[in-house]
Amino acid sequence: MHELSIAMGIVEAAMDEAQRRGVRVSAVHLRLGALSGVVKDALLFSYDVACQDTPLQGSRLIVEDVPIAVFCPKCKEQRVLPSLQSFTCPECNTPTMDIRQGKELEVFALEVEE
């Protein structure tokens, strides 16, 4: 369970951005890849703990799940994988490790009030 340290990293990043802009954060939007190694529920729980006694206390964490996308060498197309258990093209079954998306762990936007 490393979600608490990840949550603290999120709070730190958001606080830093907010301070630089002189704004108050009401929500943090996070892009979370299926291959990031982070469990969403544990992260949501940890977020509230990490926010305590910081300017972000009471803010919300909004998580956008990012599925894994690979590039299929045969179809020459980017494909979204339906599961983490099979790194094969869902159309033609060609195995591929050319991962184009799904490792994200990124604070991509903040909902702020002046």
Partner 1 sequence: MSEPRLVEVRRNVLKQNDILARALREQFRAAGVFVVSLVSSPGSGKTTFLEKTLTQLQPRYRVAALVGDLATENDAVRLARSKAPVKQITTGTLCHLEAGMVQNALQEWNLHQFDFLFIENVGNLVCPSSYDLGENLRLVLMSVTEGEDKPLKYPTIFNSADVAVITKNELADAVEFDWETARKSIESVRPGMRIFRLSAKTGDGMEAYLEFLSQQRAENQAVAQT
**Site residues for partner 1 per CB under 8 A:** 1-2, 5-6, 9-10, 13-14, 17, 21, 23, 26-27, 29-30, 35-39, 84-88, 95-97, 105-114
Select 21 or 77, whichever has its Cβ closest to partner 1: 21
Give the CA distances from residue 82 to residues 21, 52, 65, 67, 99, in Å, rounded to whole numbers and listed in that order.
Answer: 39, 36, 13, 8, 14
Select 36 or 101, whichever has its Cβ closest to partner 1: 36
Closest of 63, 64, 65, 66 to residue 100, by C-alpha = 66
Q: How far is the CB of 34 from partner 1 (least distance, A)?
A: 8
Q: What share of the chain is helix, strand, coil (3-state, %, to 5)?
A: 25, 35, 40
Select 2 or 77, whichever has its Cβ closest to partner 1: 2
Question: Does residue 44 contact residue 78 with C-beta atoms inside 8 Å?
Answer: no
Residue 2's identity, in one-letter code, is: H
Select 91 or 108, whichever has its Cβ closest to partner 1: 108
Structure tokens at 108: 């991509």
